[in-house]
Amino acid sequence: MKAAGRSARTRLRDRVAASDPGLLRLTAGLRTVGAIALTLGVLALFGVDVKHLVAGAMAAMVATFAIREKEPVPQAVTLALGLPVALASVSLSTLLTSWVVVGDAFFVVLIFSAVFVRRFGDRGTALGLIGFQVYFVSLFVGAKVSGLPGLWAAVAVAFASSAVVRFGVVPATPTRILSLLRQAFRARLAQLIATQLDLLDAGPDDIDKTLERLRDGTARLHETALMIQSRLDEGTPDASTARLVQRRIADAEIAAERLGLLLLTARSAERADTLTLHLPGAPAPAVGRSPAPGEATETLRRDLTALRTLVLRPPAEARGTALSHLRNRLLGYRDEENLPEATAAVQDVFRGIGETARAVMGLRIALDGPQDESDDSPATARSREELDAEDAAIDAGEEAAEEEQTGLRRPTTRAAVQVAVGSSLAIVGGEFLSSQRWYWAVLTCWIVFINTASTGEILVKGYRRLLGTVLGVVAGIVLAGLVGNHTWTAFGLVLVLIFAMFYTAPLSYTLMSFFVTAMLGLLYTLLHTYSLSVLLLRVEETALGAACGIVAAALVLPIRTDRRTNELLGTVLERLTDVTEGAVDQLSGGPEADLLDTARELDQALGDLRAATQPLTHPITPLRARRDTAQYVVALLETCAYHARSLAATAELLPTHPSIAADPRLRGAVRRTVRNIEAIAAHVADESAATQVETGPSIASLLEPDTAAGIPRYGRITGRVLRHLERLDEAVVGLARPLGVSVRAPQR
């Protein structure tokens, strides 16, 4: 019974870890709710009125979510600096209430400054956010000069409560967050392998749904890998450890994605295209009932289940148990003589299982330390020796500094000017709608500019906020009617809605806006200012603020969506060239390079591009052909990035792996691919540029035997390297058509 209970708890923990990597959303929600609850409790002990309770609750929320730093000490410094900023902001807001024109002008200056100081990093962003939001809190509660001392006390209690909850009740050190993220990576890796197991048995009727789950699982695993990479510097004791973890995470991700592709190929009548794993809605290949005769299929099913077990079970259970035997059997598939009798495609799947098991063992060693070796088979011992040799070769590299833009070209300066103009329009328009609650329009205008960089992104965010607000108004009406005059019941529901707001914020901006508006309906009830007309006015002010933000973004120093996506596309192509050239140069015998960091920069650039294309791929966009083109281009680039990452991972094995040796012929074979990437980048930068993409014979056919040097056609370069080079070449040529670059056939 105890074992069963522990197993159930473990499964629940893994599901939670996979759904919320690092428990970041849960931590944000608990911290905010805890800070607000503690603030309300302290203020209630002193018998303050409802207005100050609301002000304290909102200030606690601001003090909690505004802090962005990852280390506790910088967080404490920012929180300490935030208190005087908040006190000054609430004081100026209250003092300038009767001076309408001066107050509005100062509010615009404050908004400009709050965005402008983002150039100073997380601390500048946090202090600017605190200054703006606390000014808004003062307007919301209708603060008076006579009530300033009580308001100061409420704000001070809010900041103190936020500190207590952040550092005492719900602490989250970088090391702990990284540990939770690694747990999430394992859980998501196990989920992906489970989906691959479903793919093995999927029939023609359910292959499309299974393939969609496979795409989602692959994307979720990659998302978690990027989250881990972004926190390695703070969460690991030294640079070498960070690089080791980064290396093993990348190995496991690449191996799992390759295994999915090999399974799909084994289920298909022909070789599966890598693009199928990256393009949403891509048609599934025709599949049969079974990829192999019954015995081979049963063995595949057994070994995929064993691989999933190997990912999830703690390393302490490996010694002297069936788990060590599972590991030894799976690693044995790295030797040709241990492959079962099956078709070539199915044998490739077994090889993929062996390589994934090796990656999982490397991940365990990197995350959990040295493992017991007493039960090692020869294949396991050899894999362990390879991993040890790779670990010894790891050395920290240096990151190159990026060129910083200045003047109005600087994103923070441009955004500050845009939001100041938009807020000015929102103030004027908001005053016409309501002289008392015009600030809602300003708040919406401010919010649609946060984390957006183009007119299209602002348009989509404004639409989502308006939709969430409309739905939240309906919920607010219902909740206000249910709560009535029960103050603490209303505060309890406010806490629930705030937790839901922070927990869903990274998932859906519409949902977050819904919970915010429903919460505000309850706050209006507490302040005895609730009415249907007030909630409808909020919808009108929200629509006005969103419109003002869109107008400012479109007319003042605009960054068109096409321009931004082209800039980011150029960056992705540049990073793709760097990774490809660096990997092939090392595989050709060149000096060792920092390929892991280069591949990470490619992933980050691709993530930025994916986010920037959301306005083009949004379901409501009327330009269907443009949406399909954007999705196709991003999917092709993800395919290119996968093959480039795989090449980089293989190149880093070169100094230590016995089956891989440098082959100088690869440099010449990949030149066409690099020229094609550069040609596409030149066309993206200048559509009038006369560039062409070349096609030609396969990469493998370009590796002519070098009889003088005694090198046969393929030397000791594995077929995997050639396959990645060929698929990368095909994907790059595929980019030409949707981007309008002409393709030149080879001369005969």
pLDDT in tens, 287-334: 655 555 567 788 888 999 999 988 887 655 544 466 788 888 888 888
Q: Which of the pair, 186 or 710, is modelled with greater confidence?
A: 186
Residues 238 and 104 in one domain: no
Please check whether residue 579 is in contact with residue 602, taking contact to mean a CB–CB distance below 8 angstroms.
yes
Mean pLDDT of 386-399: 62
Together in a domain, 268 and 162:
no
**Domain encompassing residue 331:** 179-283+294-376
pLDDT of residue 602: 92
Task: Identify which of 322, 300, 323, 326 has the alpha carbon closest to the alpha carbon of residue 313.
Answer: 323
Same domain, 615 and 700: yes
Give 581-622 pLDDT, tens digit per residue. Answer: 998 888 888 877 778 888 889 999 998 898 888 877 766 666
pLDDT given for residue 27 in this prediction: 93
Quote the pTM value: 0.85
- Residue 618 and residue 669 share a domain: yes
> Which pLDDT value is given to residue 409?
62
The residue out of 536, 557, 578 marking a domain boundary is 557
CA–CA separation, 7 and 9 (whole Å): 5
Q: pLDDT-derived band of residue 715, with 50, 70 and 90 as boundaries?
A: very low
Instruction: State the pLDDT confidence band at 710, using cuts at 50, 70 and 90.
Output: very low
Domain assignment of residue 165, yes or no:
yes
Residue 365 inside a domain? The answer is yes
Residue 702: the pLDDT is 60
Mean pLDDT of the chain: 83
pLDDT for 662 beyond 80:
no
Domain boundary among 172, 197, 216: 172
Cα 634 to Cα 657: distance, rounded to the nearest angstrom? 33
Higher pLDDT, 369 or 300: 300
CA distances from 81 to 62, 71, 329, 642 (A): 14, 16, 58, 44
608 Cβ contact partners less than 8 Å away, ≥ 6 residues apart: 568, 571
- pLDDT one-digit tens code per residue, 228-275: 988 887 878 777 788 888 889 989 999 999 999 888 888 876 677 788
Q: How confident is the model at residue 444 (pLDDT cuts 50, 70, 90)?
A: confident
Q: Return phi, psi of residue 713, to 5°.
A: -55, -45
Query: Are residue 523 and residue 633 in the same domain, yes or no?
Result: no
Inform me whether the pLDDT recorded for 402 exceeds 80.
no
Q: How far is CA 325 from CA 179, 197, 291, 320, in A?
A: 27, 20, 26, 8
Per-residue pLDDT band at 338 (split at 50, 70, 90): confident
pLDDT of residue 2: 45
Beta bridge mates, 711: 706
User: Are residues 606 and 548 part of one domain?
Assistant: no
28 neighbors 503 (Cβ within 8 angstroms): yes
Decide if 289 is inside a domain.
Answer: no
Report residue 705's pLDDT band, with 50, 70 and 90 as the boundaries: low
The answer to whether residue 339 sits within a structural domain is: yes
Identify whether residues 270 and 187 lie together within a single domain.
yes
pLDDT in tens, 20-31: 888 889 999 999
Q: Please say if the pLDDT value at position 142 is more than 90.
A: no
Cα 450 from Cα 455, distance rounded (Å): 12
- Give yes or no for residue 716 having a pLDDT over 50: no
590 and 622 share a domain? Answer: yes
Q: Is residue 392 assigned to a domain?
A: no
**What is the CATH classification number for the domain harbouring 315?**
1.20.58
569 found inside a domain: yes
pLDDT confidence of residue 141: 86
If you count DSSP H runs as helices and E runs as strands, how many of each does the chain have, helices first? 28, 2
Instruction: Tell me what pLDDT residue 135 has.
Output: 93
Whole-number pLDDT of residue 276 = 82
Assign 447 a pLDDT band (cuts: 50, 70, 90). Answer: confident
Kindly state whether residue 680 falls inside one of the protein's structural domains.
Answer: yes
Are 495 and 635 within one domain? no
The stretch 636-649 carries a mean pLDDT of: 91
Min mean pLDDT across 124-138, 308-322, 705-719 is at 705-719
Question: Do 65 and 135 reside in the same domain of the chain?
Answer: yes
Question: Taking 80 as the threshold, does the pLDDT of residue 218 lie above it?
Answer: yes
Which residues contact residue 374 at a Cβ distance below 8 angstroms, ignoring those fewer than 6 apart?
A: 319, 320
Same domain for 132 and 223, yes or no, is no
Q: Tell whether the model's pLDDT for residue 412 goes beyond 90.
A: no
What is the 3-state composition of the chain as percent helix, strand, coil, each rounded to the nearest 5?
75, 0, 25
Pick left, alpha or beta for residue 288 (phi over 0 → left; psi -120 to 50 → alpha; otherwise beta): beta
Please tell me the total count of domains within the chain: 4
What tokens does 337 get? 């003589």
Pair (565, 553) in one structural domain:
no
**Residue where a domain terminates, one of 557, 574, 603:** 557
Q: Which residue has the higher pLDDT, 680 or 200?
A: 680
Structure tokens that stand for 92 in this block: 């100026």
For residues 694 and 676, the answer to whether their CB atoms sit within 8 Å is yes
Confidence of residue 40 (pLDDT cuts 50, 70, 90): very high
For residue 630, is it within any domain? yes
